[in-house]
Structures are given as C-alpha cells and as structure tokens.
Amino acid sequence: MSKKTKYSLCIHGGAGVITKKDLSNEDKRLITGDLEASLTAGENILNKGGTATDAVCAAVEILENSIHFNAGKGAVYTRSGQHLLEASVMDGATLKAGALANSKRIKNPVLFAKTLLNRDDVVFISGDSVDILAEELGHNVVDNNYFDTNFRKEQWEFAQSLSDDAIFLDHSNLKMGTVGAVALDTHGNLAAATSTGGMTNKLDGRIGDSAMIGCGTYAKNKTCAVSCTGIGEFFMRATVASTVSNLMEYGGLSLEKASYQAIHEHQAKLGGDGGLIAIDALGNITMPYNSKGMYRAFISERLNKKKVFIWDEAEESN
C-alpha cells in the first residue's frame, strides 16, 4: 500500500498596485475572508482524499462568486462595456487541459474549463460557441449584466477617460484581480486553475494568459503546478507557467528558483508586472511577485500551516 501524500493548496486573488493606504480595513477583512473561504473549499476536498483538480476548481469557484476579484461576478468591463470571461484548468497527472475565452454568460468559467478535461476533441474554445456548449452541458449561464459591479464600472469609466496608449502602458490605477489555485492531493497528483475577466477596458476579443495553457496555467506531476496573475501580454510572451516547469525539469532548478527566475527575470525584463503561485510534488510552495502586492494564501498539511498574505507579511488567519 502506497504512503499517503500530505496535501497542500495555494491560491491567489491577483497581483497589482495594492497599497496599504488605499486598502481600507473593511475591504481587507472582506477580501481575506474570501481567500480563507476559498482555501476551506479546496481543503475540504483534499482532506477527504479528493483530487487536486477538484480542489483547485472548488477554490477558484469561491473567488469567481466574489465581487472582490476580477473573475466571474467581479469581472472588469471591456472597451464596449461588457464582460468577457476566460479560464483554464490543467491536470498534472494526465496533462489534460481545458480552457475558454470570451464567454459572456458562464457564471463559473472554471467549472466549464474542468469539463473539457474529459473531451478529446477540444482543449481551448472561444466566443459564442463557449456559451452555447456550456448551456448544452447544463452549466449555470446568466445574463452578462450579472457580472456588473459599481466598482468595476467606475474603473472602466476612469479608463475610458484616458488614452488607449495610457491604458496599455500604465495599469497602476486599475486594480487587477485574476484568481487561481494550485494543489497537491493525497495521491501525489498536481493541478492548476486560473480564471479572469481580463484587463479593464480591454479590446473586445482580446485574450490573456489566464486562458492559455503554458502561459497562465500549467501542471505536470514530474515538476509543478503554476497559476499566474498580472499583465497577460508579458506572461504570454514569456510563457511563464511552463517556463517554471521547464527550468525544473531540464535546468535542474528548485521550485523556488525556477519561479523567481520566471517572474523576476523572464517576464519582468520584458516590462511585465505580476506574480505566480506554484507547488511541487513534495508540497513545497512559492508565491513570487514583482508588483506592489498580491492577494494569496496557502494551507499545508505537511507544515501544519495556513496563512493569508497581501504584502510580504502574513495576515492573521485561523
């Protein structure tokens, strides 16, 4: 009988310009509460011997249902004033993956991405076809205005008052909030999931790294599971998520060194801003970022620790 692996789970709620002076105590309380609820959802599955894939999707689903993150309910507005959602999931044991982009109606995109793991005819689907298939498969679909929030509308209106070039070059006022999760289950398998509404005031049809396997999401039992957050164009050009795995597998780097290099050297030297969460087959966790903050949290059975972070120091957590 094989020895049971001690499970680990790590989540993020986005990286960007998150400063202590601009984050009220009440907002911090609500956001950390959502992060803890996400951890609990994933941990409940792992603690019962469930799969890493089920755990990361359950954790991300909680964050998609929160107005405090740029995914699902809290998604940003596109240039035309609508919401276009994307997500991806990867199973490290099988290397199966599912991804979608430009969905207007799927309440929880991560759950739709998960269903694609069971198909051999598609990995990545985009546009109206996503919503049609989701409805056929019985997923919860909603009107696009379900995703409306006052906070994101104010961001969009501010963004529209700037030039298009300024939007691309300086996202400092436009808080990000892509969400993601990585997990190691008790069977020794890894998985990763990521979900987002993209960039505020993005061109309709634009697709970011969160929907792209190898860029924003990657998982391979031999190496690690990775979920990224930040300005997608740079993460795509640096293929950040799979770079971490490749540096480990072919370069012999540790999880921490590979992740640091992918964030602080590969994408940062292109001008990128953001971070990632990653976990390896031993349950080691790393969460590097080069922005002013990143919402993130982890729970480790091996270390008997649970921590929530926004900046470098941990927030209080039960």
Tens of pLDDT, residue by residue over 245-297, are: 999 999 999 999 999 999 999 999 999 989 999 999 999 999 999 988 889 99
Give the confidence band of 28 by pLDDT, cuts at 50, 70, 90: confident
Q: What is the mean pLDDT of residues 96-115?
A: 98
Q: Which pLDDT belongs to residue 26?
A: 86
| Stretch 105-131: mean pLDDT | 97
Q: Give pTM, 2 decimals.
A: 0.94
- Whether the pLDDT of residue 169 is over 90: the answer is no
Say yes or no to pLDDT of 163 above 50: yes
Query: What fold is seen in the domain 8-315?
Result: Glutamine Phosphoribosylpyrophosphate, subunit 1, domain 1 (3.60.20)
Residue 311's pLDDT band, with cuts at 50, 70 and 90, is confident
Weakest mean pLDDT among 43-57, 59-73, 172-186, 235-249: 172-186
| 317 vs 242: which has the higher pLDDT | 242
Residue 112 confidence class, pLDDT cut points 50, 70, 90 = very high
Q: In angstroms, rounded to a whole number, what is the distance separating the alpha carbons of residues 204 and 222? A: 37
Average pLDDT, integer, range 56-64: 98
Active-site residue identified among 178, 186, 200, 229: 178
Is position 178 annotated as part of the catalytic site? Answer: yes
pLDDT at position 164 is 58
Judge whether residue 40 has pLDDT over 50.
yes
Please report, rounded to a whole number, the percentage of residues in the chain having pLDDT higher than 90: 80
Question: Which is higher by pLDDT, 171 or 124?
Answer: 124
Mean pLDDT for the chain overall: 92
Q: Phi/psi zone of residue 187: left (φ > 0), alpha (ψ -120 to 50 degrees), beta?
A: alpha
